[in-house]
Amino acid sequence: MSYAARRTALRHELQAADLDALLVTDLLNVRYLTGFTGSNAAVLVDARGDDATVFCTDGRYLTQSARQVPDLERVIDRPCDVALVKRARGRLGFESHRVTVDGWEALGQAADGAELHRAGGLVEKLRLVKDEVEIEALRMACAAADRALAALIGHGGLRAGRTEREVARELESRMLDHGAEGPSFASIVAFGANSAVPHHSPTDAPLQAGDLVKLDFGALVDGYHSDMTRTLVLGKPADWQRDLYDLVARSQAAGRAALEPGVAVSDVDRAAREVIARAGHGDDFLHGLGHGVGLEIHEAPALSKAGDGTLSAGMAVTVEPGVYLPGRGGVRIEDTLVVRESAPELLTLTTKELVVV
């Protein structure tokens, strides 16, 4: 899908909301609609078409914007939101979920022929379902993460004495080696008892024989984020570790199997959570089952007990159940997948068998 096609889809939302235009100021939404990747921009999407739509950035991006946004009228000015609202007429929507109170007051003072209306989430609604260009970027991001983990293990990166910080740095470096622009987020590397902390930050704790090793990481490619968690063990696993791993693996498989168009997101969470609850560890599953991924590492939909809405084909989501035993260790298994009409497309291809290193 082209950027022009995305703007056309947005115009259908504007018509439904009875808006003459939308002032888009969130930079990720600007990127989604135009392809612009700079740090300052806005776009005034007019309901009448691209001929009346205007893109704005500042002089630092004169050359870049000409290359990335050749199909829209460009204004070089700042602040961009004020420059564009002065040109607007009629019922003007603005991204109320992103604009500060001070920003809203500035827009109101600048609006001459426009009447401001809250219109938060209109672009995010479109971003829920990924087009094939986005899905290909997600595939590439997941592949970079898969290859980085394989290289880390294959070159002996998980060995006794190495610290969590050292492994995190190497894992992120290897993602760069395999085509990533950078990590999707600060990698979670947790050894032993630290693996029982869902969002543990790497420390100088050394890896020891018998430790569970939880690795939660992702790669960024063309602005799109992958997300994967694998839990391994250094040396022969104890019976409790293998049992815990098998339980989480069964839960994760149930969650993946529930990914079908039309299914409520809360029902997907329930399918995975019930497996863990029946085993007596319901209180040890401390977070939602998953989340959307795309231009943000965490975006809609939320696969959780309180999640709203249903799945649609083309949504990219994670499935990541975990069980955490304080003072002992925890297991989380996470994949990035795309909801399809037949069966979900798995993008993170690293084995989910318990890997012993």
Name which of 120, 173, 182, 129 is nearest 151 in CA terms.
173
- State the CB neighbour count (10 A cutoff) for residue 179: 14
Gap between the Cα atoms of 209 and 211, Å rounded: 6
pLDDT per residue, tens digit, the chain (357 aa), is 699 999 999 999 999 999 999 999 999 999 999 999 999 999 999 999 999 999 999 999 999 999 999 999 999 999 999 999 999 999 999 999 999 999 999 999 999 889 999 999 999 999 999 999 999 999 999 999 999 999 999 999 999 999 999 999 999 999 999 999 999 999 999 999 999 999 999 999 999 999 999 999 999 999 999 999 999 999 999 999 999 999 999 999 999 999 999 999 999 999 999 999 999 999 999 999 999 999 999 999 999 999 999 999 999 999 999 999 999 999 999 999 999 999 999 999 999 999 999
pTM of the model: 0.95
Name which of 58, 6, 66, 60 is nearest 31 in CA terms.
6
Calculate the CA 76 to chain-centre distance. 31
Gap between the Cα atoms of 353 and 210, Å rounded: 17
- Walk me through the domains of the chain, giving residue ranges and CATH numbers: 3-127 (3.40.350.10), 132-346 (3.90.230.10)
Gap between the Cα atoms of 4 and 53, Å rounded: 11
Burial class (CB in 10 A: 0-12, 13-18, 19+), 59: exposed
Gap between the Cα atoms of 207 and 226, Å rounded: 26
